[in-house]
Structure 1
Amino acid sequence: MSDADDLAAFREEIDGVEREAAKRIDPGTGALTIALAVMAILVSLVLPWINGVSGLRVLLGEVQAFVPRLFAFFALGVGVVGSGLTLAVRRWGLAWVCSLGLFAASVIGVLSIWSQQTTTSNKSVGPGPGFGLVLAVIAVIVLLVKWLRIAASRPPHL
């Protein structure tokens, strides 16, 4: 009876290890792309976003631009902090949270570019987005694609 109990305990331990491994992700070489996109977001914060004003100043609220400021919060929060945390702990759930947050950030980012191209006056066009804003939106979209691929790559039986 002792051998059967030992075998059952051993089987339970193996099943526990399998369940724990199923919760983890392995980004593989995609981690480098994620790190480069995160770096691009950080660099974009010092580049001009709106009328020559840097992304960091937009984030701090020095410019009255609601949509670009909201995008800056999403890009920094989900794109930088969320991606870093997810790469550190490597959990499936966090990969999905990053994917959903980056989807919202990409939509807000495209809206912030659009909001800089239009104005309430019909006599002139908007000032146009700065290079930093465009770089940040592209980096967020790259992160979205990478995290979505990683999150969706989980085998269906786990």
Structure 2
Amino acid sequence: MSDHGNELNRLAADVDEAVSKAARTVELGRRGFLISLVVFVLIIGQLLPWVGRHTGWQVLFGQGGAIPQLFAVTSTLFGVVASVLALTTRRWWLTWVCAMGGWFASVDGLLAVWSQQSSGANNAAGNGPGIGMLVALAAMIVLAASWMRTAWSRT
């Protein structure tokens, strides 16, 4: 009789563990594939020109001005690093980090584009936003929206 009781207790513990794990993780499905593609597009955007002849990764390391650098940092941190972590671990709380950080980076991106459009007025580097900055901004907006939909899907 105690063998059946032990088996039942082990089964209950396994079920509790599975439910607890399911509560902490998120199922991405097709949205995960879309997010992966957009992260790849964001990485491509980092390789293209952002400010004058400086590419996104050069801006990330300090060339091209402070506002574009802020966008390069936030888009890399939230768009690439946090997204890859969220995709691999499927942790629900990371989807919120990616969603909120993605919107923050999107606003930074709008400011970076604006700073490059008005760079002639204050003699700042750049003659307008480069194609890489525009690609990165579009990718961040799509990522932020996708992560927000994913985060809200759990509530």
TM range (shorter): 0.7 to 0.9
Structure 1: state its 5+ residue gaps. Answer: none
Q: Do structure 1's residue 90 and structure 2's residue 112 form an aligned pair?
A: no
Code of the aligned partner of 2:27: D
Partner of 1:60: 61
Tell me how large the CA RMSD over aligned residues is.
2.0
Task: For 1:138, give the aligned amino acid.
Answer: A
| CA distance in structure 2 between the aligned counterparts of 1:120 and 1:139, rounded to whole angstroms | 26
* Matched AA of 2:139: A
Aligned amino acid, residue 58 of structure 1: V
Q: Partners in 1 of 2:119 and 2:47 — Cα distance? A: 25
Q: Percent identity?
A: 40
Amino acid at match of 1:14: V
Pick the structure with more helix per residue.
2
In 2, the alpha carbon distance for the partners of 1:10 and 1:132 equals: 53
Q: CA deviation at 1:10?
A: 3.0
TM-score, normalised with respect to structure 2: 0.87
Output the CA distance in 1 between the equivalents of 2:13 and 2:73.
44
**Structure 1 residues 49 and 120: alpha-carbon distance in aligned structure 2, compared to 1, 3 A threshold:** closer
How many angstroms apart in 1 are the aligned matches of 2:99 and 2:90?
Answer: 14
How far is 1:113 from its partner? 0.6
Matching residue's letter, 1:62: Q
